[in-house]
Amino acid sequence: MRDSLMKLASADRTTLLLTLFVITDGVFMIAHLLHLHSTYIGFFGDPEFAATQERGLAETFQYLKEGWIGLTLVGLAIRVPNLLYPAWALLFGYFLVDDLFQLHERLGGRISHHFGFPEMLALRPQDFGELTVTAGAALFFAVVIGLGHYRADPGARAFSRSMFLLVVGLAFFGVLVDMIHVMLKHPAWQLALDIVENGGEMVMMSVIAWFVFRAYPEASGASGVR
């Protein structure tokens, strides 16, 4: 009975946390839209309000979520000995470092210059370089997580399968929609794709944070750790 009540209370807290995260994401997207119309609303002309601004307000919130997810996964790895949790923690550590230092943009630029990638399908050589870096990172983490999955217990495997689907959702907005955004130059599509891409990335990261936070007490309890 006590364990059931504790799980219910934990679920309520994480649901509240998700609600607050998504509301905050919505506020940042509204600020982003106001920034795009800053000719009429001068206060929001500051680039900090743009969702695409590196180390701006919305991006900083994303960094925090990535860091919190990574730290929670490290906590799971400590409390529940399993190779899957540190593998996922490593992935979100990569996401954080990549976003903070624009790794795939910088490496993508060097790769596209070195190999002389052409411009095709309305994509720039820079875009092909970034896709190459992203594909290489995806392959590396697929191998690492796959090895962890092979040796994991059923509970960790179920967690990992859900994480995989959530990360695929994140990649849908961060990679696929981003590429479509670059390819479609028509102004009528730009605003809609901008909202879908940035808003989708923020909400998906919030959902992943909620899922990991909710899984922490469940996985710890299932392993017998108190």
pLDDT in tens, 175-210: 999 999 888 877 778 889 999 999 999 999 999 999
pLDDT above 70 covers a percentage of the chain that reads 89
Q: Residue 135: enclosing H or E segment and its boundaries?
A: helix 125-150
Q: What is the pLDDT of residues 7-32, one digit of tens each?
A: 545 567 888 999 999 999 999 999 99
Q: What is the pLDDT of residues 155-169, one digit of tens each?
A: 899 999 999 999 999
Q: What is the pLDDT of residues 75-102, one digit of tens each?
A: 999 988 888 999 999 999 999 999 999 9
Is 60 exceeded by the pLDDT of residue 2? Answer: no
Count of domains forming the chain:
1
pLDDT band for position 226 (50/70/90)? very low
Is the distance from CB of 47 to CB of 123 less than 8 angstroms? no
Domain coverage including residue 101: 2-222
Rounded to the nearest integer, the mean pLDDT of the chain is 88
- In 3D, which of 102, 71, 101 has the Cα closest to residue 89? 71
